[in-house]
């Protein structure tokens, strides 16, 4: 269903002035003329791009033939634009709908200076740009696209969307238009221009381009974009970024950029576009990688296509919070009360004790070879022995302080040798210190080359893995010991029980990462990787006839090898637990940060504790704060209903302003008996009404049941647990039993707020008995 644009003041963009009406013949021919003009330009762009790819191919062949062409850095520098053009052209043919998507027509600037991309730099118009009779001439026209393209005379055919010259395309508003008179969004596919949508920034003047009055076509690009139906993946918003979003995307990368905004304000979209922008601004700096932390694998999958569509993927790792530790991937959730314990600061003490305590369990931590209770060796032809009590004392001394347990093994080994040396009595034989030292050293060699000593050490001070310690914590009695005076017996029971289950949960990943830090990894000699001079060229492999590794594969490999990043972007930051903040913080100790979130959507029950952890992870770096205020996802009818829950969840919090209205009010249905038939019927109804996707959101413990209710309805409909709905959106949603969702956890009302704000067009709320629906089916929690 097409959404109707609401001509309100909510959007920080121009409302369009339409100089034609639908079906009007003059209007149609104006549209066709404008489309033909843009087609001409697009054709020129493709001719130029093809020239550039030929250049790129030649260079590549040449580079491969010669084996090397200067230092990798210099090569990358010199040819980066050529390579990128080639890569983009390759993809353009297959993937990109809108390579060239924008245009701005501008007045004469205050001065005649041009920037490196060939565009005039002045933001404000010259005094004489507008004549007294409110007419003006267009002095400069810029086309905006996914990459910059210069013609043979170095004049800009297309400006990269991230270049400073493109900023007016996003920033200009009727209130503050700068030099922009008309902003145009161009829609194309397969090299064919399909349509144009214009917004007038200075509707009060009559502007001329080449002696002809400037045409204005269509109803505005934003509304067209918002009305489109949703698929299983997110689209980029590059052609309709709004001014307040653009401020965030282009904010300087220093320190911490902190962005808050309600549901649907574009936080995730902005975060992804910011990653692409930062890479464009300073590719060398971000060669250290950008990490985007996402709350769920579903959201990672949903947003996966955005960066490639912006021409970026190699240096950006998008990871779910449950996949941040290499080699493990967790998707299962703990119950809210268990998650609360596992994510809290209190676990730090428990983990430190567990890491030390697990040593006593011998190699494997749990059940394997038991920890030996005595050490017997022969040295200098004497039998020497250390008893359990002595060993215990040595262990305690070795463990003093806070150093990582695995790194203390050399210290423990030294203490053992000291004790054996003492027992041998050999120390008293020589008073000459040099001779004594020599004797000691041959004693040590004697002992340490003996198998029993080596075997003893391996069993008595094994190298512990985080996984082994976590497994050891699954024993309730043992965990009780390690958590004494920190967790209650009930909490110990819950944590131990959850660790006994198969597979790891999302919250276990932060425990593993913390244990990794507490245990430490002994340094092992690493094999040096040979440096291939061509290795640093992005996109190279796509042009080489025999590539060995795709860009994505290489990105994955680099991500695995990488421990820290140059920039960290945290999406849905309100949900990170203290331990998760510590885990993410370790990956960005020297990074700059972008943190986006909405406290009103937090599913974490102790926001103050999480805020403290966030502040610790981000350190004392100064914060630059932004607030996004416009909801681009929900029509006002849905946003109004959700705002009722917001008022309960966070009294006084302000909801973002919905930018459009569909005239379709949310629907209420009551399930008599079981939910299954009603939910299925409502989902079927939604499927008939919308072209895109339908999401059915239920309390977490009903997920599997809900999947069964929807069996056979096809892949346009999905069942989701309330926590999985985070960040996602659907054309239509069915929210099942608000009361169940709200009662799931202390943060349940905020989780319900998330569930109610997922739909772009239609929302149905299904109530059960527990929801206490009124005669209209409106559940208690959603009544005015
Ligand atoms: N400027 C824009 N032009 C077109 N679409 C936009 C724009 N800004 C946001 N959107 C669309 O609005 C929807 C919501 O955006 P996004 O998911 O980034 O919001 P969010 O703030 O992260 O929401 P939530 O907090 O609920 O997860 C997306 O479909 C996005 O593409």
266 belongs to an annotated ligand binding site: yes
Regarding the beta carbon of 269 and ligand 1, being less than 6 Å apart is answered yes
Mean pLDDT (whole number) for 660-666: 92
Share of the chain above pLDDT 90, in %: 47
Regarding the beta carbon of 462 and ligand 1, being less than 6 Å apart is answered no
Residue 309 · residue 96 · CB < 8 Å: yes
Q: At what angle do helices 25-66 and 72-94 cross, to 10 degrees?
A: 140
Most confident of the ranges 259-263, 419-423, 457-461:
259-263
Whether this model's ipTM surpasses 0.95 comes out as: yes
Report d(CA 234, CA 632) in Å as an integer.
Answer: 13
Over residues 22-72, the pLDDT tens digits come to 445 666 788 899 999 999 999 998 888 888 777 766 766 665 555 455 555
The residues near 271 (Cβ < 8 Å, ≥ 6 apart) are: 259, 292, 569, 571, 594, 596
Most confident of the ranges 133-147, 222-236, 274-288, 438-452:
133-147
The residues near 588 (Cβ < 8 Å, ≥ 6 apart) are: 291, 564, 565, 567, 568, 617
Give the residue from 84, 38, 8 showing the smallest Cα distance to 543: 84
Mean pLDDT (whole number) for 621-628: 92
Regarding the beta carbon of 273 and ligand 1, being less than 6 Å apart is answered no
Regarding the beta carbon of 222 and ligand 1, being less than 6 Å apart is answered yes
Compute, in angstroms, the gap from residue 665 CA to the centroid of ligand 1.
Answer: 21
Mean pLDDT (whole number) for 167-185: 89
Regarding the beta carbon of 226 and ligand 1, being less than 6 Å apart is answered yes
Give 713's pLDDT tier (boundaries 50, 70, 90): very high
206-209, strands of its sheet edge to edge: 135-137, 206-209, 212-213
Mean pLDDT (whole number) for 761-766: 97
pTM score: 0.79
The residues near 116 (Cβ < 8 Å, ≥ 6 apart) are: none
Work out which ligand 1 atom sits closest to the CA atom of 758: 26
pLDDT at residue 526, rounded to an integer: 47
Mean pLDDT (whole number) for 744-765: 95
Give the residue ranges of DSSP H helices in 228-335. 243-249, 267-281, 297-303, 306-309
> Dmax over Cα atoms in the chain, in whole Å?
113
Compute, in angstroms, the gap from residue 625 CA to the centroid of ligand 1.
Answer: 19
Report d(CA 327, CA 639) in Å as an integer.
Answer: 41
Which string of DSSP letters, residue by residue, matches 182-213? EEEEEEEETTEEEEEEEEES-TTSEEEETTEE
The residues near 408 (Cβ < 8 Å, ≥ 6 apart) are: 398, 399, 461
Q: Which two tokens stand for residue 502?
A: 């198969």
**pLDDT exceeds cutoff 60 at 405:** yes
Compute, in angstroms, the gap from residue 230 CA to the centroid of ligand 1.
Answer: 12
**pLDDT exceeds cutoff 90 at 697:** yes
Give 172's pLDDT tier (boundaries 50, 70, 90): confident
Residue with more model confidence, 316 or 738: 738
Sign of the dihedral defined by the CA atoms of residues 676, 680, 683, 689, in that order: negative
218 belongs to an annotated ligand binding site: no
Compute, in angstroms, the gap from residue 160 CA to the centroid of ligand 1.
Answer: 22
**pLDDT exceeds cutoff 60 at 82:** no
268 belongs to an annotated ligand binding site: yes
pLDDT at residue 545, rounded to an integer: 34
Q: Are strands 192-200 and 206-209 parallel, antiparallel or unpaired?
A: unpaired
pLDDT at residue 394, rounded to an integer: 92
Give 372's pLDDT tier (boundaries 50, 70, 90): confident
Q: Which two tokens stand for residue 737?
A: 């039993």
Residue 569 · residue 314 · CB < 8 Å: no
Pocket test for ligand 1, best of 172, 268, 635 (most atoms within 8 A of CB): 268
Regarding the beta carbon of 265 and ligand 1, being less than 6 Å apart is answered yes
* Residue of minimum CA distance from atom 8 in ligand 1: 266
267 belongs to an annotated ligand binding site: yes
Q: Which two tokens stand for residue 462?
A: 């094994």
Regarding the beta carbon of 633 and ligand 1, being less than 6 Å apart is answered yes
Regarding the beta carbon of 758 and ligand 1, being less than 6 Å apart is answered no
Residue with more model confidence, 670 or 90: 670
261 belongs to an annotated ligand binding site: yes
Regarding the beta carbon of 237 and ligand 1, being less than 6 Å apart is answered yes
* Residue of minimum CA distance from atom 1 in ligand 1: 241
Report d(CA 600, CA 644) in Å as an integer.
Answer: 12
The structure tokens 């709350």 sit at 295
Report d(CA 566, CA 591) in Å as an integer.
Answer: 5
Regarding the beta carbon of 645 and ligand 1, being less than 6 Å apart is answered no
Regarding the beta carbon of 580 and ligand 1, being less than 6 Å apart is answered no
Regarding the beta carbon of 242 and ligand 1, being less than 6 Å apart is answered yes
Work out which ligand 1 atom sits closest to the CA atom of 235: 31
Mean pLDDT (whole number) for 446-454: 86
264 belongs to an annotated ligand binding site: yes
Phi-psi region of 210 (alpha: psi -120 to 50; beta: other; left: phi over 0): left
Compute, in angstroms, the gap from residue 605 CA to the centroid of ligand 1.
Answer: 25
Least confident span in 86-95, 183-192, 411-420, 476-485 = 86-95
Taking all residues of the chain, what is their mean pLDDT, rounded to a whole number? 84
Determine the 3-state secondary structure of 500 from DSSP.
helix
pLDDT at residue 532, rounded to an integer: 39
pLDDT at residue 73, rounded to an integer: 56
Over residues 547-591, the pLDDT tens digits come to 344 545 555 555 555 578 999 999 999 999 999 999 999 999 889
């Amino acid at each position: 269903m097409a959404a109707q644009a609401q001509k309100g003041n909510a959007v920080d963009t121009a409302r369009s002035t339409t100089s034609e009406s639908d079906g009007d013949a003059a209007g149609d021919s104006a549209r066709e003329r404008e489309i033909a003009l843009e087609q001409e330009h697009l054709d020129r762009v493709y001719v130029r791009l093809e020239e550039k790819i030929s250049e790129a191919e030649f260079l590549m062949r040449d580079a491969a033939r010669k084996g090397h062409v200067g230092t990798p850095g210099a090569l990358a520098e010199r040819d980066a634009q050529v390579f990128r053009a080639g890569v983009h052209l390759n993809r353009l043919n297959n993937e990109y709908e809108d390579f060239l998507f924008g245009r701005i027509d501008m007045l004469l600037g205050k001065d005649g200076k041009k920037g490196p991309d060939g565009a005039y730099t002045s933001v404000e118009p010259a005094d004489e740009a507008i004549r007294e009779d409110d007419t003006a001439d267009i002095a400069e026209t810029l086309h905006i696209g996914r990459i910059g393209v210069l013609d043979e005379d170095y004049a800009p055919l297309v400006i990269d969307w991230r270049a400073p010259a493109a900023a007016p395309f996003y920033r200009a508003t009727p209130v503050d238009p700068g030099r922009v008179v008309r902003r145009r969004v161009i829609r194309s596919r397969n090299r064919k221009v399909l349509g144009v949508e214009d917004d007038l920034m200075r509707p009060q003047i009559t502007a001329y381009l080449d002696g002809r009055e400037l045409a204005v076509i269509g109803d505005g690009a934003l509304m067209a974009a918002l009305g489109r139906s949703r698929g299983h993946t997110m689209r980029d918003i590059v052609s309709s970024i709004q001014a307040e979003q653009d401020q965030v995307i282009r904010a300087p990368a220093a320190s911490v950029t902190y962005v808050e905004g309600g549901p649907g304000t574009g936080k995730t979209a902005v975060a992804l576009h910011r990653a692409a922008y930062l890479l464009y601004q300073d590719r060398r700096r971000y060669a250290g990688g950008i990490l985007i932390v996402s709350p769920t694998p579903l959201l990672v999958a949903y947003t996966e296509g955005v960066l490639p569509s912006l021409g970026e993927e190699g240096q950006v790792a998008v990871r779910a919070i449950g996949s941040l530790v290499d080699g493990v991937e967790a998707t299962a959730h703990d119950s809210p009360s268990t998650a609360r314990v596992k994510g809290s600061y209190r676990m730090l003490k428990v983990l430190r004790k567990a890491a030390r305590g697990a040593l006593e369990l011998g190699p494997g931590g749990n059940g394997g070879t038991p920890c030996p209770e005595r050490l017997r060796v022969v040295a200098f032809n004497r039998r020497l022995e250390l008893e359990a009590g002595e060993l215990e004392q040595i262990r305690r001394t070795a463990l003093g302080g806070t150093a990582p347990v695995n790194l203390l093994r050399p210290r423990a080994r030294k203490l053992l040798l000291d004790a054996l040396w003492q027992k041998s009595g050999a120390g008293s034989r020589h008073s000459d210190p040099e001779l004594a030292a020599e004797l000691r050293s041959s004693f040590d060699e004697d002992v340490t080359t003996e198998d029993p000593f080596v075997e003893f050490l391996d069993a008595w001070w094994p190298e512990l893995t985080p996984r082994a310690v976590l497994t050891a914590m699954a024993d309730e009695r043992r965990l009780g010991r390690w958590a004494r005076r920190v967790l209650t017996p009930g909490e110990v029971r819950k944590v131990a029980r959850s660790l006994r289950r198969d597979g790891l949960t999302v919250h276990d990943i932060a425990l593993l990462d913390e244990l990794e830090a507490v245990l430490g990894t002994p340094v092992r000699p690493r094999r040096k990787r040979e440096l291939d001079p061509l290795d640093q060229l992005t996109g190279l492999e796509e042009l080489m006839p025999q590539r060995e590794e795709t860009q994505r594969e290489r990105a994955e490999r680099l991500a695995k090898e990488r421990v820290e990043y140059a920039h960290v972007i945290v999406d849905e930051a309100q949900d990170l637990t203290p331990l998760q903040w510590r885990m993410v913080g370790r990956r960005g100790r020297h990074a700059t940060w972008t943190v986006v979130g909405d406290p009103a959507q937090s599913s974490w029950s102790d926001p103050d504790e999480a805020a403290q952890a966030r502040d610790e992870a981000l350190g004392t770096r100064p914060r630059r704060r932004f607030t996004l205020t416009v909801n681009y996802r929900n029509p006002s009818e849905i946003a109004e209903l959700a705002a009722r829950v917001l008022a309960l969840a966070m009294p006084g919090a302000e909801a973002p302003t919905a930018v459009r209205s569909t005239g379709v009010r949310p629907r209420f249905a009551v399930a008599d008996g079981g939910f299954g038939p009603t939910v299925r019927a409502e989902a079927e109804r939604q499927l008939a009404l919308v072209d895109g996707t339908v999401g059915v959101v239920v309390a977490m413990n009903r997920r599997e049941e809900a999947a069964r209710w929807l069996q056979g309805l096809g892949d346009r409909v999905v069942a989701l647990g309330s926590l999985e709905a985070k960040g996602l959106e659907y054309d239509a949603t069915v929210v099942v039993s608000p009361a169940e969702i709200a009662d799931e956890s202390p943060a349940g009302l905020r989780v319900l707020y998330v569930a109610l704000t997922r739909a772009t067009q239609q929302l149905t709320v299904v109530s059960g008995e527990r929801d206490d629906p009124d005669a209209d089916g409106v559940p208690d929690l959603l009544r005015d």
